[in-house]
Amino acid sequence: MFVIAVAAAFAQAASAPAATPPVSRGPLERYISPDDYPQGAPASAARSVSVVLVVGPDGRVANCTITTSSGNGALDATTCRLLRSRTRFTPATSAAGVPVAGEVGATIDWAAIRRGTRPVADSPPLIRTLAPPPVITATVPLPPPESGPGGARARFPLGMLVTSSDYPPEAIRAGEQGTTGFRLVVAADGSVSDCTVTQSSGSATLDAATCRLMSSRAKFTPALDTKGKPSIDTVNARIVWRLPPQSVVVPDVALIRFVLGADGKPRNCTAFSQSVGRTQETKAPDCGDRPPPGAVIAVLRSAGGEGTLRVRFESRLLRDAAEPWPKLERAGLKIIGFDLVRMRVAPGGKVLDCFVLERQSGGLPANNLCRPNMQIQGYTADGDAEMRIVAFTALETAA
């Protein structure tokens, strides 16, 4: 939503990437049961499977890529089939709050699922969503040589050869990420005899790691010459190295106000944030280069009519679960939409669970208040705590 983008741009209340990743609409373990274990798959195959899901703007899984295999093809295929057909997500959003395609990673513990084990309070979930690990996003072989009937073929999808544990620590510390294009020379025995970087990620560390991993792990069925004998070939591919998103700090108070002129342009933007006693206020007369989408303007106009409108977005963190929800309707405000959110917060401030209790959109796009890697500053108690967020969009009227 536009006002969230304004908050990030002016108040800098969070240090998240420009586009927020998809968020599961429920615990993923509820979508898979012991009955889903494929018939004929041996018990020894019940191991973890890691995947990256591409979630479309409609919240449905458009693609599933195995990044860490169980070693059993039927189990891997079942994992992707179930996640594609059953899971639903709140889609990723652009900086302007528009739903877009995005990626999210997950690890499925089939051993625990097969036993019928369900998570307890102090254990990790059977299926845990993760930041997307580094993944081979496209493998583009060169045309086979004219002298032979076929080119080299990878024995395993190259995406299965690299996991998040392969991300070089020095690149993580330096915040380096990007796409490395590379060319492999495949020998007649199917091994990689040479690797050349054809497109740099911008990081020498990541480029070197790409060729090191591919040279040591990739195995191919070799190309054949015109006589059907194994021969040398080349293969082009690329790998996307992507760091997990940074922590999103939840402010105690976030307040954004702007004037929407009759021409539909926002002016006189003011953003205020407060968290653990620290406050920040920013003003921008022209409101920057991210205007509200036309759909948002239409909703505001429908609620406030023509002429100049004074728009207000406000969110408050309620650290005490016993504190009553604040009264939204009050003199001088016309509420358009609101969200009531509940969270479970661990010692140190990491948000473990977050879901919307009630939402009245008023026609506005979703606020996406529940994000990955949310952090509450200043929470130092020993146990988990329940906290809540109330957020609303309103028009300021004469009191």
Query: Is the pLDDT reported for residue 139 higher than 70?
Result: no
Whether 156 and 219 have beta carbons less than 8 Å apart is answered as yes
d(CA 309, CA 175): 42
Query: Is the pLDDT reported for residue 133 higher than 60?
Result: no
Query: Is the pLDDT reported for residue 117 higher than 50?
Result: yes
Give the residue among 64, 59, 51, 67 at the shortest CA–CA distance from 25.
59
Query: Is the pLDDT reported for residue 389 higher than 70?
Result: yes
Q: Which residues contact 398 (CB under 8 A, 6 or more apart)?
A: 332
Average pLDDT over residues 40-69: 81
**When comparing pLDDT for 44 and 137, which is higher?**
44
DSSP 10: I
Residue with tokens 């973890």: 48
pLDDT score of 65: 75
Report all structural domains of the chain as residue ranges with CATH numbers, in order of start.
17-130 (no CATH), 135-241 (3.30.2420.10), 248-396 (no CATH)
Please state whether beta strands 178-186 and 153-154 pair in parallel, antiparallel, or not at all (unpaired).
unpaired
Whether 6 and 316 have beta carbons less than 8 Å apart is answered as no
**When comparing pLDDT for 71 and 314, which is higher?**
314
pLDDT band at 245 (very low <50, low <70, confident <90, very high): low
Whether 45 and 70 have beta carbons less than 8 Å apart is answered as yes
Q: pTM of the predicted model, to two decimals?
A: 0.47
Please state whether beta strands 248-249 and 278-284 pair in parallel, antiparallel, or not at all (unpaired).
unpaired
User: What proportion of the chain, given as a percentage, has pLDDT over 70?
Assistant: 80
Mean of all residue pLDDT scores within the chain: 79
Residue with tokens 């993580």: 172
Average pLDDT over residues 248-264: 89
Buried b (16+ CB within 10 A) or exposed e, 150-169: ebbebeeebbbbbbbebbbe
Query: pLDDT tens-digit profile of 169-195?
Result: 788 777 788 889 999 999 999 999 999
Whether 67 and 166 have beta carbons less than 8 Å apart is answered as no
pLDDT score of 10: 32
Query: Is the pLDDT reported for residue 318 higher than 90?
Result: yes
**When comparing pLDDT for 196 and 76, which is higher?**
196
Query: pLDDT tens-digit profile of 336-346?
Result: 999 999 999 98
In this structure, of 81-95, 155-169, 198-212, 227-241, the range with the lowest mean pLDDT score is: 155-169
How many other CB atoms are there within 10 angstroms of residue 324's CB atom? 7
pLDDT score of 84: 87
Query: Is the pLDDT reported for residue 118 higher than 70?
Result: no
Separation in Å, CA 252 to CA 10, 41, 282: 16, 51, 17
The alpha carbon torsion through 162, 163, 164, 166 (nearest 10 deg) reads: -50
pLDDT score of 19: 44
pLDDT score of 187: 92
In this structure, of 72-86, 144-158, 262-276, the range with the lowest mean pLDDT score is: 144-158
pLDDT band at 252 (very low <50, low <70, confident <90, very high): very high
d(CA 10, CA 136): 36
d(CA 90, CA 365): 12
**When comparing pLDDT for 258 and 104, which is higher?**
258
Query: Is the pLDDT reported for residue 356 higher than 90?
Result: no
Query: Is the pLDDT reported for residue 4 higher than 50?
Result: no
Query: Is the pLDDT reported for residue 115 higher than 70?
Result: yes
d(CA 4, CA 367): 7
Query: Is the pLDDT reported for residue 18 higher than 70?
Result: no
The alpha carbon torsion through 105, 110, 115, 121 (nearest 10 deg) reads: -20
